[in-house]
Structure 1
Amino acid sequence: MRRSALALLLALAIVFAGLTTAETSSARPAWAPRGEEYPAAATETDVSIPMSDGVVLRGDIQRPADADGRPVDGRFPVLLTITAYNKAVLNGPASAALGDPGYFVKRGYVQVTVDARGTGGSGGSWAAFSARENTDAGEIVDWAASSERPWSSGSVGMHGASYMGISQLFAAAERPAGLKAIFPQVPAADTYRDVVASGGALDVGFIPLWLGLVTGTGLIPPAYGAGEPDNALQMYLSRVQGATGFTAPMLLSATLGLDSAFDGPFYAERSPINALDRIDVPTFLVGGEYDLFQRGTPMVFDRLRERGVPVKMIFGPWDHLQGSTGAGIGEAGHGTLQELQLRWFDRYVRGLPDPALDADIPPLTWHEINSGEWHHAQGWIDEQRATTFRLSGTSFPGAPGKLVAEGAEQGQSTVAPVPVSGLCTRSANQWTAGLPNAVGISRLCEDNRWNDLSGAVFETEPMAQPLRMRGPINARLHTSTPTGNGMLSVSVSSVSPTGEVNRLTGGWQVLSHRTLDEERSRYLDGQLIQPYHPFTKETQNLLQPGEIAPIDVEVFPTGAVIPPGHRLRISVQAFDVPHLLPTLRDLPAALSPLTIHNSTQHPSQITLPVIPAED
């Protein structure tokens, strides 16, 4: 069984590995990475790590070794990764794609990789990012930094992507004394809004896939199980308990439209945004413009920077798998992923002087979609100005309405409920974590023009000058429906002179969740650019049949340019599959048409954070 499970995960690792590209750059900094100090790495597997409540977690420890593979005596700085995907996979078949920890071990670090509670070889029951798991994260750092570890200098850094990146944020929020720096790739900020229920509809693309991955990797027998049958039985019983006590009830509750379908304490506990005010250690972030956490990673950067925490972010043209592997990050001009990590940890964990670090790597390095250029900035939102385009006229299939700065014409446009809308788009690749791209089929769906025929479309005249934007976007659409509910799925795109439609980003909003929390929303020049909706039972409010209401749709942030001769387009559909579906309770209402209104009394518009043209 162990061999079969590992073979399956090896196949997944090959998919990951297929994403890896040559990481070169023509604009590399003068800094050069250190060479190896030790010829080998020695690994001790399934080491017991006791938690304060008596549960024992398991970790693999890789130490610098001599040419014969014997561990070298001495204390070294420690790099730590906490995973829910089984350390046997992470340090085994997946290491070719996610990065071999031996790179750091041979340069004088100890690597500790730990299975999160209730996953892999660790005891207990899994409850992702619960208060107990987050406490574990801080205790694991304390364990690794303790003077009782004969190989530890007491100085710890953390690295890893996705789940492993989120774990770093929660560990840092525990403020363990030994933690000196973290390097989270593609982490979330607000679990509910980022991925679980964007706009109030259920994510049915990624969440079931993710829960299945954690459950599946948890069934691989750990190495210690062969010699300790009682422990192996205990592990399997805990996996069953995790599936029946956490995974299945959450999915069922959300699908039926019960408590898990709404925001509240459950998701607040699991959202790093609520822990960022307790993070003080230097943080290096990697985010993706087509990532699952496209919304959240820039929020983490923003909040830490506002608090004065040393923080940097590279925001590139990557989906979740690409952002996790660091494929193409060298194109940003700062080195490969492991070179960046080595430089960050050498400075803040090992304590080596690096006076050129901040000069070489600015706070923000971001990729511009359409031009392919990389740009630098001090903050996520700093030099931008709010720019609004009004919807004008009526959209018919194949005959878009207009987007205008002034002089909008009255119109009404019907959005039919087409349950396959979104099926062949960049959204489908994004919200299945980049798997279609990994197997080479996403390129068949890069032109959004055919999907746009299933909804209402509005676009500008061809641009005379480049229109550059960076950040979140708000689409305020006056909407009515005969059933009182439904969902707006909004895509923002660039249309080439020959008609190809390049989807830049998207946003979603269930009509009954339209209540706006102005205090938690984001404004630029007095204009709303990032609405905040509570998504609670108490604030849910159905429309009356035929009632026209303004619906603010949070369109997730991007960095892009609409080049001269191209058009800015907004398209509106009623579905976005396989990304989102309504709950069973809301499904009947979602199968009715929506009407988008634009008039003096009911103006509909889109507001973008535009970077002013250089003089």
Structure 2
Amino acid sequence: MSEHYPPINDLRDGMRVDWDVRITMDDGVTLAADIFRPDDDQPHPVLLAASPYGKGLPFAVGFASQLRSLLTEHPEVAASSSNEYQVWEYPDPERWVPAGYVCVRIDTRGAGASEGAIDFFSPRETQDLYDCIEWAAAQPWSNGKVGLLGISYLASNQWQVAELAPPHLAAICPWEGASDFFREYTHHGGIATEFMPSWMPYQVKSVQHGRGDAQLNPHTGRRVSGKPIRSERELEDNAIAIGDVLRANPTLGEYYRDRSAVLEKITLPVLSASNWGGMGLHSRGNFEGFSRVASEQKWLEVHGLEHWTEFYTDYGLAIQRQFFDHFLKGEDNGWDRRPPVQLKVRTPNDFFVRQENEWPLARTQWTRFYLDASCGMLSETTPSGDSHAAFKARSEGVMFKTPVFDDDIEITGPAALKLFVSSTTADADLFVTMHLFDPSGTEVLFPTAFEPHGPLAQGWLRMSHRALDEDRSLPYRPWHHHTEIAPLTPGETYEADVEIWPFSIVAPAGYQIGLSVRGQDYTHDLAGEPEITYGREIRGSGAYWHELPGDRDNPVYDGETTLIGRASHRPYVLLPVIPKS
């Protein structure tokens, strides 16, 4: 039996805090939890979340630069909290406990102070979360209603456990949380992404259970990785080698299905919060989650800015509070009468809030903008004649631009690109980017979830993964099987449908929309020192690089790609144009 720190019961800043509480799973493994609750003996609703990031690692210690930025840009976050108890992507107990909630933070199996081996989003990990929900509901400080609230990992696992319908899970709020492990976490359009292999050493292995050099929790003086110290070999044996797994599983099989929720089985109340700038990981999951869950009580909220920001601002907190007050406390506060969709529509410099009744918007004018390779135009006019554009796969490819807009135009929703492609090799990777250009021709870039200078939107497709599931595909959202690899015959032309993740922009008069097709990740050309994430520069596509060793280093991706346009093969992008009111 492993040795653990004994629980500590504290009274801090008006909260009763129970540090390092042990929760026993059905296989005997124990997980560690920190519990923040009101200083009374009354039962309260519970907000619970679980992650591999170390429940005892304060935001200010583990993610100091992000917290400084948050407090500088949004000082209201510090107005009602000391931020001393904030932990990365968990709810802040100082803003929830005074409102009558219990906050439960759990280290997932193998991480932090929890026993076991790390296996991201595995069925075992999902069952652990189920058991923790039911454990929390049975505690004397609980009113029997549990809600799930958290960002990213702490949002993605909500979809999974909600599918299992724990009896005491009353509502979920996955705030920027992917729901499809293959299409969103590990393979974009079938192209392996380096995100998880890059992220794991910095954010997970650094707090792995048994790591002797982990940070200390300043409130307890204890290692956030727990009391035992494991050898390097033990640590290695108790953590999934995610890069090796991705290389061994290039198509969508049982491994990925086991880690993706069947959204149609979810029937409880859902508030799905997405970020326009979440392309590459979470945004697609929240849009799909809202659209596909079977719940009759579901809402979609979409915002912008950095991944963590709006979760903690007064804007985000007010939405979360009203939702959970209604479903966990039973308050008649008008939540059930609000429209199902709230969007922060993007402009070049800001956002404005607008409520809607559905997603995608019913009044959308689905508009084809044709790609004319002969002149690089993106136009509603069908081109005449034949054209083609060839580019080396390892290049920035080709750009298409609309004419300068004479009037403002809003484009809000998902998009899809139809291409006709040939390659000099047996495969080709397509990296598609939507751009906004100002009247001077300069690209307008945006602070996004994980990228300080990101484009409007992105999409990807590996041509050998081009096969569509016709039953699940929609005109504006192609759905690929990803279950088989179908090599190309060099020189032959193939139809390709690229999913472009949802985006929003009101492009003013004088601006242009652009679309580029390249064979490598989008990068901007801004001068100055780039930000460093996971030890590498981020220059336009966040941490979602696509050069996983053993995947993209294959010579098959070093050929020449040609985009073709002729009478029977007219490439176009289907854009969601929103008419003026």
TM-score, length-scaled by structure 2: 0.80
Once residues 94 and 465 of structure 2 are traced to their aligned partners in structure 1, the CA distance between those partners, rounded to angstroms, is: 49
Of residues 355, 367, 383 in structure 1, which corresponds to 2:363?
Answer: 383
Contact persistence 2:193–2:546 (CA under 8 A): yes
- Residue in 1 that maps onto 2:29: 55
Q: Deviations over 1:421-463 (max 9, x none)?
A: xxxxxxxxxxxxxxxxxxxxxxxxxxxxxxxxx3211122222
Cα deviation 1:467-509 (Å, max 9, x = unaligned): 3222221111111111121211111122222102233101111
Tell me the residue number matched to 1:430.
Answer: none
Q: In the alignment, which residue of structure 2 is the partner of 1:543?
A: 488
Residue matched to 1:203: 193
- Indicate the RMSD between aligned Cα atoms, in angstroms: 2.8
The alignment partner of 1:320 has SS state of coil
CA contact (8 A) 2:186 2:246 kept: no
2: CA distance, partners of 1:337 / 1:109:
17
In 1: Cα distance, 2:499 partner to 2:253 partner: 19
Which residue identity is paired with 1:339? A
Q: Select which of 503, 527, 531 maps to 2:478.
A: 531
Distance of aligned partners of 1:40 and 1:361 in 2 relative to their CA distance in 1, 3 Å threshold: farther
Amino acid at match of 1:498: S
Distance 2:493 2:519 in 1: 16
List aligned pairs for 1:195-594, cutoff 5 A.
195-205=185-195, 207-210=197-200, 212-218=202-208, 219=211, 220=214, 232-233=227-228, 236=230, 243-244=236-237, 246-248=239-241, 250-255=242-247, 258-259=248-249, 261-272=250-261, 274=262, 276-291=263-278, 292-304=281-293, 307-322=294-309, 325-327=311-313, 335-354=314-333, 356-359=334-337, 362-370=340-348, 372-381=351-360, 382-394=362-374, 400-418=376-394, 454-502=396-444, 503-522=455-474, 528-536=475-483, 539-576=484-521, 579-581=545-547, 584=550, 587-594=554-561
Does structure 1 conserve the Cα–Cα contact (< 8 Å) formed by 2:271 and 2:299? yes
Measure how far apart 1:39 and its partner are. Answer: 6.5
Unmatched 5+ residue regions in structure 1? 1-37, 66-71, 328-334, 420-453, 523-527
Structure 1 residues 225, 130: closer, same or farther in 2, change over 3 A?
farther
The answer to whether the 8 A contact 1:221-1:232 is kept is no
- Corresponding letter in the other structure for 2:436: S
Q: Name the residue aligned to 2:6.
A: none
Q: Does 1:41 pair with 2:15?
A: yes
CA distance in 2, matches of 1:540, 1:286: 34
- Match runs of 1:129-144 below 5 Å: 129-144=121-136
Secondary structure of 1:117's counterpart equals coil
Structure 2 partner of 1:439: none
1:143–1:232 distance in 2 versus 1, CA, 3 Å: same
Structure 2 CA distance for aligned equivalents of residues 212 and 264 of structure 1: 28
Aligned counterparts, 1:57-206, within 5 A: 57-65=31-39, 72-90=40-58, 93=61, 95-96=85-86, 98=89, 99-146=91-138, 149-205=139-195
Give, in angstroms, the shift of residue 87 of structure 1. Answer: 0.5
Query: Does structure 2 conserve the Cα–Cα contact (< 8 Å) formed by 1:62 and 1:111?
Result: yes
Offset at residue 124 of structure 1 (A): 1.2
**Deviates further, 559-568 or 124-133:** 559-568
Alignment partners' CA distance in 2, 1:417 and 1:407: 25
Q: How many angstroms apart in 1 are the aligned matches of 2:346 and 2:295?
A: 26
For 2:236 and 2:303, locate their aligned partners in 1 and report how far apart those are by CA, in whole Å: 35
The structure with more helix, counted as a fraction of residues: 1
**In structure 2, distance between residues paired with 1:495 and 1:226:** 52
C-alpha deviations, 1:276-332, integer Å up to 9, x for none?
23322222222111113121111111113xx34322222112343435x445xxxxx
Give the Cα–Cα distance (whole angstroms) in 2 for the partners of residues 505 and 611 of structure 1. 17
**SS of equivalent to 1:89:** coil
The residue type paired with residue 494 of structure 1 is L
Q: In the TM superposition, what is the alpha-carbon distance from 1:206 to its structure 2 partner? A: 5.3
Question: What residue identity is the alignment partner of 1:343?
Answer: Q
**Whole-angstrom distance in 2 between the partners of 1:301 and 1:226:** 42
Paired residue secondary structure (1:318): coil
Amino acid at match of 1:557: P
How far apart in 2 are the matches of 1:205 and 1:83? 17
The answer to whether the 8 Å contact 1:215/1:243 transfers is: no
Q: Which stretch of structure 1 is more off in the superposition, 569-578 or 482-491? A: 569-578
Deviation at 1:167, TM superposition (A): 2.2
Does the Cα contact within 8 Å between 1:393 and 1:402 map onto a contact in 2? no
Compute the displacement of 1:40 (Å). 0.3
Deviation at 1:246, TM superposition (A): 4.8
TM-superposed deviation, 1:367: 2.0
Change in Cα spacing, 1:318 to 1:268, as seen in structure 2 (3 Å) is: farther
CA contact (8 A) 1:465 1:564 kept: yes
Separation (CA, whole Å) in 1 of partners of 2:143 and 2:114:
25
- For structure 2, the residue ranges without an aligned partner over 5 or more in a row are 1-11, 64-84, 445-454, 523-543
In structure 2, relative to structure 1, the CA distance for the partners of 1:210 and 1:557 (3 Å cut) is: farther
Further displaced range: 282-291 or 457-466: 457-466
Relative distance call for 1:282 and 1:90 in structure 2 (3 A) is farther
2:426 counterpart SS class: coil
Letter in 1 for 2:330: G
- CA gap of 1:319–1:551, structure 2 versus 1, over 3 A, is farther
Q: TM-score when scaled to structure 1?
A: 0.76
Q: Distance between the aligned counterparts of 1:338 and 1:48, measured in 2?
A: 29
C-alpha distance in 2, partners of 1:568/1:92?
39
Residue type matched to 2:545 in 1? Answer: H
Contact 1:188 1:271 in 2 (8 A): no
AA aligned opposite 1:290 = G
The 8 Å contact of residues 125 and 241 in structure 1, kept in 2 or not, is answered as: no
